[in-house]
Chains A and B, each alone.
With several copies, the nearest count.
Chain A
Amino acid sequence: MAQTEPVSLDDELFREIILDHYRHPRHRGLLDPADMASHGHNPLCGDEVDLSLRVRGGQVEGVGFEGQGCSISMASTSMMSEEIQGKSLEQAHELIGRFRAMLLEGQDPSSLAGIGDLEALSGVRRYASRVKCAMLPWTTLEAGLKQLEGGHEPAGD
């Protein structure tokens, strides 16, 4: 049964790094034309993200997003955009996996240490309802990549 936790959550939840991304989002603005466009939405809170990618030779050449939502979802989107810029699609998938593992499967946040600012989001883990906020851009990216790759696969596969 649930117990009162004497000490609370990460007092650093809103630490400067998150607020900084929230206030000064990187990669804001959609790309046009884009190779991938993906829309994500959290029906529980109304947060929305539109993600656009330009891809050349399996590399993410450009990232842009629009969105509205809380500090967690917007900071997560901004941080993600920073990280995948210039990476290969494979690396993007791998990053999605690592981020998910950290937030949903309880993996040590140090697995994201050194990957830009992402580790700062680890405090979100304690709040199931906010995990969805942090995950929003990542599931949106994943859905977009799936579509992109599906379209690019040789027929018959």
Chain B
Amino acid sequence: MSALALDAERVRLDFPILAERVNGHRLVYLDSAASSQKPEVVIEAVSDYYRHANANVHRGVHALGERATELFESARTAVAGLVSADPRGVVFVRNTTEGINLVAQAFARERLGPADRIVCSEMEHHSNLVPWQRVRDQTGCQLAYIPVTPAGELDLEAAEALLRPPTRLLSVAHVSNVLGTINPVRELVRMAHREGITVCVDGAQAVPHMPVDLGELDADFYAFSGHKMCGPTGIGVLVGRPQLLEEMPPFLTGGSMISVVTLERTTWDEIPHKFEAGTPDIGGAAGLRAAVSYLESTGMEAVQGHGAALSDYAIEALSEVPGLTRYGPSGANQLGILSFNLSGVHPHDVGTVLDRYGVAVRAGHHCCQPLMRRLGVAATARASLYLYNTREDVDTLLEAIGEVRRIFSD
């Protein structure tokens, strides 16, 4: 097993919530795939904004307005830097879900018709699935899914067969939030672009956990959420290829995204502003900026290295638990998301018992009902790791799983 790439015991101290005690126990937070915890610097960046700079953006001729605007735009530059994107293509949205809806409504709905096809996969989060069903219903286009193999990976042969006419759009997760699988997005983009197919990537589980270089990935759209990457809730990002964004109509309309408004007609501001109607989450952007610099100063390579090493450690330990089935790949293709079931115990009961020992995991369908059906289960328990988790956390998880088995053994 490789050495852990960062000192998680020290990292823990940056996250005030990890000092909480839950049900009399030390909090072992293993639900970062749902929402990560926030370091003190992020919490403070948000309150500092409200204490020293709060004002509306892109409007003020006063000092606070200047401060707020600078902060907001510097958050955009910071995000662009993190994922190697052109800041003009960085649109602030609420979350991944809104980012994908934007692409679905302002791109796909506008361009597709009954002769076209959208492709996603069986492992998609509802947020990268339901918006495409809507577009299908609105435009009459087809919708097809890349199957998931028993090993929990995308069936690339099937993908290749689907990535040709009449497919016009592929939308796929970079990393699965249930299986932890890192999908070969670079390869999929290459296949798709060969056939002139536009590619949208759900990066919600990738950007927080590994270096992402959008210049290299070459996807046309890429969405992620601040709250899963040490940032506050309320802010997310859609990165779009500037040329496509320029061609697209706006999604939401209203203040701040216009150029000239008359009672008869309206022209739009330039990108990315065209896609940011109304007052944005400025406090959230301040927090996200701090989150990006926190992650950068830790180093995304180190974050990924730590996740991989801890994941290996946990997978090995889980493999020794009698009656435990884990779903998803192992090794380099797995990003610290461990879904499992214990035979004879419903995952909800697993979650509740673990909670009594201070161990927070998620139990349910994880917004992936079709994948649950594919795995042949109603739900799973899921422990997801992040930079502040330690081997001790994994050890506590294992002990608590022992308790579950004890309680539910006949």
Contacts and interface: CB of A to CB of B under 8 A. Distances in A.
- Asked if A and B touch directly (CB within 8 angstroms), the answer is yes
Interface of A: 1-9, 11, 13-14, 19, 23, 41, 43-48, 68-72, 127-130, 133
B52 interface: yes
Contact of A9 (B23, B59, B67): B23
Contact of A128 (B49, B70, B372, B407): B70
B41 to A, nearest CB: 11
A6 B349 contact: no
Given A1-B53, A14-B353, A41 B69 contact: no
B1 interface: no
Contacts of A46: 364-365, 369, 372, 378-379
Given A41-B260, A46-B378, A8 B363 contact: no
A96 to B, nearest CB: 19
23 contacts: A1-B48, A2-B70, A4-B21, A5-B63, A6-B21, A8-B23, A8-B356, A9-B356, A11-B356, A14-B408, A23-B410, A41-B260, A45-B365, A46-B364, A46-B365, A46-B372, A47-B348, A70-B346, A70-B348, A72-B348, A127-B61, A128-B69, A129-B65
B259 A2 contact: no
Interface in B361-375: 363-365, 369, 372
B269 interface: yes
Interface of B: 20-24, 45, 48-49, 52-53, 58-61, 63, 65-67, 69-71, 258-260, 269, 346-349, 352-353, 356, 363-365, 369, 372, 378-379, 407-408, 410
A5 to B, nearest CB: 7
B407 A43 contact: no
A76 to B, nearest CB: 13
Contacts of B67: 2
A26 B365 CA distance: 27
Contacts of A13: 352, 356
A48 B346 CA distance: 13
B53 A2 contact: yes
Nearest to A130: B352
A14 B349 contact: yes
B65 A41 contact: no
A41 to B, nearest CB: 7
Nearest to A124: B352
Report which residue of B21, B24, B349, B410 has the largest number of chain A beta carbons within 10 angstroms of its beta carbon: B349
A130 B52 contact: no
Contacts of A3: 52
B348 A133 contact: yes
A79 B66 CA distance: 26
Given A2-B52, A2-B67, A127-B66, A7 B348 contact: no
A69 B21 CA distance: 29
Contacts of A128: 66, 69-70
B346 A1 contact: no
A47 B363 CA distance: 12
Nearest to B410: A23
A68 B356 CA distance: 24
Nearest to A13: B352
A126 to B, nearest CB: 8
Given A2-B53, A41-B260, A46-B364, A129 B69 contact: yes
A45 to B, nearest CB: 5
B139 to A, nearest CB: 27
A70 B364 contact: no
B349 A71 contact: yes
A83 B58 CA distance: 31
B269 A43 contact: yes
Across the A-B interface, give the 6 residue pairs with the lowest CB-CB distance, nearest first.
A8-B23, A70-B346, A70-B348, A2-B67, A46-B378, A43-B259
A126 B407 CA distance: 19
A5 B67 CA distance: 11
A48 B23 CA distance: 29
B23 A1 contact: no
A111 to B, nearest CB: 24
A44 to B, nearest CB: 6
Contacts of B269: 43
B23 A130 contact: no
A128 B60 CA distance: 10
Nearest to A4: B21
B260 A44 contact: no
A45 B364 contact: yes
A149 B88 CA distance: 27
Contacts of A129: 59-61, 65-66, 69, 348
Contacts of B23: 5, 8-9
A133 B379 CA distance: 14
Contacts of A7: 24
